[in-house]
Each structure stands twice: as structure tokens, then as C-alpha cells.
Amino acid sequence: MAGRRARKNIRAALRPAVELVKPWVSLEGYVRTRSAEARCEAELARRFLEEGLVRNAAGKAWQAWKAVLAGLAAKSLDLLEGAFPGVRRTRDGRALKEAYWIAALMPTTRVRSVAQLLAGRYGEEVLYYTLIALDLHELQYNGPDREGIFSRYRTEEEARRDVERLVAAVEKYLSALQ
């Protein structure tokens, strides 16, 4: 009951929703929106931890880091263009550089590669925090696993420490998005 009430209060606090500006329309607007998203998701992760909802907090910490990574990628399109040549088609049939598509969607399958690129510009910690974020993403779906088969986290306490670590990293890297 307390968890449901907390989620309802959090949803109410986040209204009105922010519409995501596409990076090929306004790079500055996109970075600003992703920064706001990262702040909100990190705050939700903190609140979920306070309520003891570790798996939910893990999911929000993952989303917060993914938003930071997308913002950093948008500010570093030159790196992405070199690593991801090619063109994608939008739903309306327009041609779009692969780098812009990746920065806009930040698909989970590209997160590690993007982090490796960004580590050269923003520090090796970007890759470190990305690996933690991917582990938390896995935990969100599988929960802790004492045998370590379905999750890298054996207990919720291990996951809690990484959520706290990742939320702190989100706050640190938000300054790079300004």
C-alpha cells in the first residue's frame, strides 16, 4: 500500500510531462530535456529507495543514467558519427544519420559502445557507471539472485549501494550537460 501511494505521489509531482525534442531539430533543446529527465529519474530512484523499492529504484537509476548518456552523446555527435556511419529512416521516411538516431533513442544494445567512445572525452568513469547501469537494468527484471545465475546482485543491499552510486554519478555528470 505504501509503495502504491508513493508512486502516485511521485507521478503527481512530475506533471506536466516534458516532450522530448529530437536532436536533429534542436540539439540544445534535446540536451536540456535529457538533463531534466535525468534529474527526475534520479529523484524517483532516491524516493523508491526510501520506500524500500529497490528493483523500482534500479530501473529509475538506469533510466537516469541512460538520459545522461544520451545527452553526452548528443554533445559528442562527432565521436558517434565516426563510429556509427550510416543512415536510418524515420517513420515518415526521412533519412537520418545513424549517430543522431543512437543519440535520440540510446538503445540498450548500443549503450556500452557509446560509453566506450564517451569515456575518452568525459573520463573512464563513464564506462564504469554504464556497466553498473546495465547490471541494475538486469536486476530490475530478474531481481536479486543468491546463486548469481539471473542477476549479478545476490542481495537487495548490494543493489541499493549501486543505485546510490549511480544516482550520485548522474548528479555529477549533469554538470557536463550544462
Q: For the chain, what is the domain count?
A: 1
Omega before 16 within 30 of 0, i.e. cis: yes
Dist CA 35 CA 69 (whole Å):
10
- Domain of residue 96: give its range: 2-177
Q: By the 8 A CB rule, do 133 and 61 touch?
A: yes
Q: In this predicted model, what pLDDT tens digit does every residue of 94-133 receive, in sequence order? A: 898 999 999 999 999 999 999 999 999 999 999 999 999 9
As a whole number of angstroms, the distance between CA 136 and CA 62 comes to 6
Q: Where are the alpha helices (DSSP H) in the chain?
A: 2-13, 27-50, 54-75, 77-83, 98-105, 108-122, 125-142, 156-174
The pLDDT, as a whole number, for residue 113 is 98
**Residue 77 near residue 99, CB atoms below 8 Å:** yes
Question: In whole angstroms, what is the distance from residue 41 CA to residue 167 CA?
Answer: 9
Apex 29 CA angle, 18 and 72, nearest 5:
100
Q: What's the start-to-end Cα distance of the chain, in Å? A: 39
Q: What is the pTM of this model?
A: 0.85
pLDDT at 156 over 70: yes
Per residue in 3-41, pLDDT (tens digit) is 666 666 655 555 444 566 676 678 888 999 999 999 999
Residue 107 DSSP symbol: -
d(CA 32, CA 47): 23
